[in-house]
Amino acid sequence: MLGCGGLLFVFYISINLVSKSVSKNWDNQLATLIATDDSIVAFGDGAHAVPINPEDVLHVGEKNDVFGVEIALNNAGFIKAVENTSGAWDYWFVEFTGKNISDEIQYGVNPGVESQLQYFQNGNYIWDLDEFDQRQCNYEHVMDGFEKNESFNCRLVYVVPADKRDIYWVYARTDTIADGVYEERYVVFQIR
């Protein structure tokens, strides 16, 4: 009787481990699909504004970790005024790198999806990527994930109101922290 109970216990543990492994594999495949298919709207795709705490804001030249990816803002600034529009708008660029600093392969990373610009207007944060979608990113390891110390570089161009003084660039990622539990983490840089 004791041997049969032990065998059932070992069988239960084996099934549980296999099930967790399959679930994590599905999560990685889903994250990769979301990150690489532009027709899918992923978590944080301009769907919300990130609360900005002035004490936690970083600046050009600084970096921080978001779920094992070190995000460094290398450069940001004014390009030129937008022509033929109502109101005063400017083109601003953001150049940044992301480096895998964890021991695990990073899956589903998509800098174009996880980046956004925010500025304060009438009590609400809003963001806008330039309508011409001027982005340059070398993140070819997104499909297969990227190993420790691999990195990507990006330059994104945004349209911002010329009269706004507080403009922030945000890099936000959503990842699983426990069985089926998702958490969003982000880093905020002030660029103007």
State the CATH number of the domain containing residue 152.
2.60.40.1240
Instruction: Give the number of domains in the chain.
Output: 1
Among candidate residues 97, 95, 94, the one with its CA nearest the CA of residue 64: 97
- Supply the range of the domain harboring residue 159: 2-190
Asked if the model's pLDDT at residue 168 lies above 60, the reply is: yes
- 94-127 pLDDT, tens digit each: 999 999 999 988 887 877 778 887 776 544 444 4
- At 28, the pLDDT band (50, 70, 90 cuts) reads very low
DSSP helix/strand/coil, 48: coil
On whether the CB atoms of residues 79 and 93 are closer than 8 A, the answer is: yes
Asked if the model's pLDDT at residue 64 lies above 90, the reply is: yes
**Cβ partners under 8 Å of residue 50, min gap 6:** 116, 118, 125, 170, 172, 186, 188
* Greatest mean pLDDT range, 90-104, 115-129, 140-154, 159-173: 90-104
- At 141, the pLDDT band (50, 70, 90 cuts) reads low
